[in-house]
Chains A and B, each alone.
Chain A
Amino acid sequence: MGYVPVKGGTQAIDASIKRLKYERLKGQEVIEINTIMSTMRAMVDQVMSESSLYSPYLAALAIKQAEGSMEEAVFLMRAHRSTLPRPYYSQTVEPEKMFVERRISASFKDIPGGQLLGATYDYTHRLLDFNLIEENPVENMQWLQSYKEALNQVASLDKVIYFPKVVDYLREEGLFETHEADNTPPIDITKQSLQFPSTRSERLQVLTRGQTGAVTSLGYASLRGYGQVHPNVGEVRVGAVPIYVQHPNETEQNEEDEFYIGEITVTEVESFVPNNVKNENNEYELELEIGYGICYGQNETKAIAMSILDQCLEHQESDFPTHDEEFVLLHIDSVESTGFISHLKLPHYVTFQSKLDSIRQVKKGGQKVEN
């Protein structure tokens, strides 16, 4: 006799990690970081968004290391993120200055600046393309060549133009209230734990780094009936925005002296949501409000769902769970939810023994209380 449970952990772990490496290598194919970066754009974008670390290169490395597991890749990035020093906060990013690659409005046909479809899966037919099984690099090259030639024939403007926001047009008409810019410095949720009631800056941060599936599901639930927000998409835009930081020691703050440190691609959504508001005469009036969604990379579903949830959480008086900030904000983080669910795989011998004891004692029938 002498059965000792959970012994030999060290060797077991070593063997398991070896086996994991074997699983990744056994097919004898090596995928290059560059291959992932240039062919798995959507996945790279999603990993960056959920891990809230903008680096296509590191995201591709994480995807490679995690064998394509989204939760693992995000986890690797987050763990890496927490080791990085954070010496600067960027200046406020103006999405009006976005170098727009795609921009549509579902609210107006004819928006100032026009609709720009850009690259989207929206109108592809989802039929498996068996031609991709054997792609020919030479043919691909030819295709690229002729695509570029065709592009050259399109007349281009001499200067860069910026697209105005769709909402600006409606503001001019008085359909949207013009709010004073709130320049309170945002609370950094990675440096200070979330406290309730939360501020909007905290809510937006949690939403934008939320797990794509979780944010989408809750947004969908609200849309379908477990919530009171059914928006019109005012504007979806995808493109690159420039990031500037200020000199850390310079006391004079001059926009000209700011440092450009690069650009990031984001998806930005403004949803229009009608709401009942009381006016000065205490009468109800219908007014449009904006639900805001933004995330790293091109991930329109998530950004739209985020805009719904943002609006939901602006109206917490509603009884639906999608309007409850704790319900939404505390359950959509990928690292937290997958971590806690997976911890159930850890041994629970002691806690289970304790539970067994409790049930046995109850079955023995402590002192039954009469009546």
Chain B
Amino acid sequence: MKTNTHFAFFDEGSKKEIRRAIMKAVAIPGYQVPFASREMPIARGWGTGGLQITLSIIGKSDVLKVIDQGADESVNAVSIKKLVHETTGVELTEQTAEASIIQSRHRIPEVPLTKDQIIVLQVPMPEPLRKVEAREYMTKRMHSEDDYSGVWLMLFEQIMKYGKTATSADHPVYVNDRYVMAPSPIPRFDNGKMHQTDALILLGAGREKKIYAVPPYTNVESLAFEDYPFTVESFEGQQCLLCGSTDVFLDELIDKESGKTIYQCNDTSYCMDQLNKKEEAEVQTSYA
């Protein structure tokens, strides 16, 4: 018995239901909309939230890019791409600019996104207040009462303990001056890219059964104090070993031969692009 799966895996009823949750999320920026998250053929915690969004919005003319921690060729990105491709047949790309839907785990590409693009972020822990309060019933209430003292206090305590805020990835943001939101574990470096962006940002947490969104041209502000401003990861004095870029998020690597620390673009497709441009320029000058 061999059966074919439906276009984009889901039945149309499921897609409709998820799209309804997405519409609500877009209408209330930063608010976590509960949805009946399905069990997917990939594991919970491995991008099922993002995948459910992608599958419910994707159409035949879409071009899909999937990245995992900056890389198109990372094993899980490949696995997700394979599943979407097998059930939809849509075109795949590694070029950020060519994609109409970008599903990503923990990075926003270096190339600025456009108004024709949707970025779908995979979210492990959608609740920015979870560190402050374990119970969902309580955090839901705190959001509705605009009570964010806990998360402010958390940042304040870090300053008292360490002399600065010590958040790493997933630094909480204020969306549209109303909801505090977990931007998903993107590095602080990427937080700024959410602010007033041209693209639609959709965030999906499959295991926690939440969908939320940042619509285009929405204010997104990282939580910080006036005297202790928000800072991003520092790569001061470093550049990408391959393409020489400086104002990008870098991976820290160890050179096998010399044992020295080296740096390389985390966004692999951006890096490749830069290299190609360089080569093109070189070819042109030598031709001239």
Across the interface, which residues of B come within 8 angstroms of A79, CB to CB?
Answer: 39-41
Instruction: Give the total number of A-B pairs whose CB atoms are below 8 A apart.
Output: 173
**CB atoms of A343 and B45 under 8 A apart:** yes
**CB atoms of B34 and A193 under 8 A apart:** yes
Across the interface, which residues of B come within 8 angstroms of A361, CB to CB?
Answer: 164, 166, 231, 234
Query: A335 in the interface, Cβ–Cβ < 8 Å?
Result: yes
- Would you give the shortest CB distance from A109 to chain B, in whole angstroms? 44
- Would you give the shortest CB distance from A353 to chain B, in whole angstroms? 6
Which among A33-41, A80-88, A240-248, A255-263 touches the partner chain? A80-88
Query: B5 in the interface, Cβ–Cβ < 8 Å?
Result: yes
Query: A366 in the interface, Cβ–Cβ < 8 Å?
Result: yes
Cα-based distance from A340 to B6 in the complex (angstroms): 27
**CB atoms of B71 and A354 under 8 A apart:** no
Which among B56-64, B131-139, B144-152, B173-181 touches the partner chain? B131-139
Across the interface, which residues of A come within 8 angstroms of B159, CB to CB?
Answer: 369
**CB atoms of B207 and A336 under 8 A apart:** yes
- Would you give the shortest CB distance from A130 to chain B, in whole angstroms? 39
Beta-carbon nearest neighbor of B48 in chain A: A339
Beta-carbon nearest neighbor of A190 in chain B: B36
Query: A18 in the interface, Cβ–Cβ < 8 Å?
Result: no
Query: B70 in the interface, Cβ–Cβ < 8 Å?
Result: yes
0 or 1 for each of A333-371: is its CB under 8 Å from B? (1 = yes): 001101111110011111101111111011001111100
Beta-carbon nearest neighbor of B5 in chain A: A83
0 or 1 for each of B175-202: is its CB under 8 Å from A? (1 = yes): 0000000000111110000000000000
Cα-based distance from A196 to B186 in the complex (angstroms): 29
- Would you give the shortest CB distance from A7 to chain B, in whole angstroms? 5
Q: Which of A7, A82, A190 contacts B40 (CB 8 A)?
A: A82
**CB atoms of B137 and A367 under 8 A apart:** no
Cα-based distance from A78 to B48 in the complex (angstroms): 13
**CB atoms of A350 and B187 under 8 A apart:** yes
0 or 1 for each of A169-195: is its CB under 8 Å from B? (1 = yes): 000000000000000000000111111
Query: A9 in the interface, Cβ–Cβ < 8 Å?
Result: yes
Query: B264 in the interface, Cβ–Cβ < 8 Å?
Result: yes
Query: A8 in the interface, Cβ–Cβ < 8 Å?
Result: yes
0 or 1 for each of A67-80: is its CB under 8 Å from B? (1 = yes): 00000000100110
- Would you give the shortest CB distance from A72 to chain B, in whole angstroms? 10
Across the interface, which residues of B come within 8 angstroms of A192, CB to CB?
Answer: 36
**CB atoms of B43 and A339 under 8 A apart:** yes
Across the interface, which residues of A come within 8 angstroms of B106, CB to CB?
Answer: 350-351
Cα-based distance from A6 to B162 in the complex (angstroms): 34
Query: B249 in the interface, Cβ–Cβ < 8 Å?
Result: yes
Beta-carbon nearest neighbor of B46 in chain A: A343
- Would you give the shortest CB distance from A295 to chain B, in whole angstroms? 18
Across the interface, which residues of A come within 8 angstroms of B164, CB to CB?
Answer: 361-362, 366-367
**CB atoms of B77 and A9 under 8 A apart:** yes
**CB atoms of B169 and A343 under 8 A apart:** no
Cα-based distance from A8 to B74 in the complex (angstroms): 8
| Segment 198-255 of B: residues with Cβ below 8 Å from A | 207, 209, 231, 233-234, 241-242, 249-253, 255
Q: Which of B11, B73, B168 contacts A351 (CB 8 A)?
A: B168
**CB atoms of A7 and B44 under 8 A apart:** no
Query: A326 in the interface, Cβ–Cβ < 8 Å?
Result: yes
Cα-based distance from A4 to B105 in the complex (angstroms): 18
| Segment 44-95 of B: residues with Cβ below 8 Å from A | 44-46, 48, 68-71, 73-79, 82
Query: A5 in the interface, Cβ–Cβ < 8 Å?
Result: yes
Across the interface, which residues of B come within 8 angstroms of A81, CB to CB?
Answer: 39
Query: A27 in the interface, Cβ–Cβ < 8 Å?
Result: no
Cα-based distance from A195 to B163 in the complex (angstroms): 39
**Given that A353-B187, A356-B252, A368-B163 are contacting pairs, would A9 and B169 also be in contact in the complex, using a CB cutoff of 8 Å?**
no
| Segment 256-272 of B: residues with Cβ below 8 Å from A | 256, 262, 264, 266, 268
Across the interface, which residues of B come within 8 angstroms of A347, CB to CB?
Answer: 68-69, 74, 76
Q: Which of B45, B255, B266 contacts A340 (CB 8 A)?
A: B45
Across the interface, which residues of B come within 8 angstroms of A31, CB to CB?
Answer: none
- Would you give the shortest CB distance from A2 to chain B, in whole angstroms? 7
Count chain B CB atoms within 10 A of each CB in A13, A197, A339 and give the residue with the most. A339
Cα-based distance from A338 to B39 in the complex (angstroms): 13
Query: B107 in the interface, Cβ–Cβ < 8 Å?
Result: yes
0 or 1 for each of A270-290: is its CB under 8 Å from B? (1 = yes): 000000000000000000000
**Given that A7-B73, A362-B166 are contacting pairs, would A339 and B137 also be in contact in the complex, using a CB cutoff of 8 Å?**
no
Across the interface, which residues of B come within 8 angstroms of A367, CB to CB?
Answer: 163-164
Cα-based distance from A353 to B69 in the complex (angstroms): 11
Across the interface, which residues of B come within 8 angstroms of A9, CB to CB?
Answer: 71, 73-75, 77-78
0 or 1 for each of A82-101: is its CB under 8 Å from B? (1 = yes): 11010000000000000000
Q: Which of A7, A342, A348, A354 contacts B43 (CB 8 A)?
A: A342
- Would you give the shortest CB distance from B123 to chain A, in whole angstroms? 12
**Given that A12-B75, A79-B40 are contacting pairs, would A5 and B253 also be in contact in the complex, using a CB cutoff of 8 Å?**
yes
**CB atoms of A6 and B37 under 8 A apart:** no
Cα-based distance from A10 to B75 in the complex (angstroms): 7
- Would you give the shortest CB distance from A82 to chain B, in whole angstroms? 4
Query: B9 in the interface, Cβ–Cβ < 8 Å?
Result: yes
Query: B35 in the interface, Cβ–Cβ < 8 Å?
Result: yes
Beta-carbon nearest neighbor of B232 in chain A: A357
Q: What are 14 A-B pairs at a CB distance below 8 A?
A: A13-B82, A75-B39, A85-B11, A335-B43, A339-B43, A339-B46, A340-B124, A340-B207, A347-B68, A349-B251, A353-B233, A354-B188, A361-B164, A365-B163
Query: Chain A residues in contact with chain B, CB under 8 A?
Result: 1-10, 12-13, 75, 78-79, 81-83, 85, 190-197, 324, 326, 330, 335-336, 338-343, 346-351, 353-359, 361-362, 365-369
A9-B74, A83-B5 known, 16 other contacts, Cβ within 8 Å: A1-B241, A5-B251, A81-B39, A85-B11, A335-B39, A339-B207, A347-B69, A350-B185, A350-B187, A353-B187, A355-B169, A359-B166, A362-B162, A362-B164, A365-B163, A366-B164
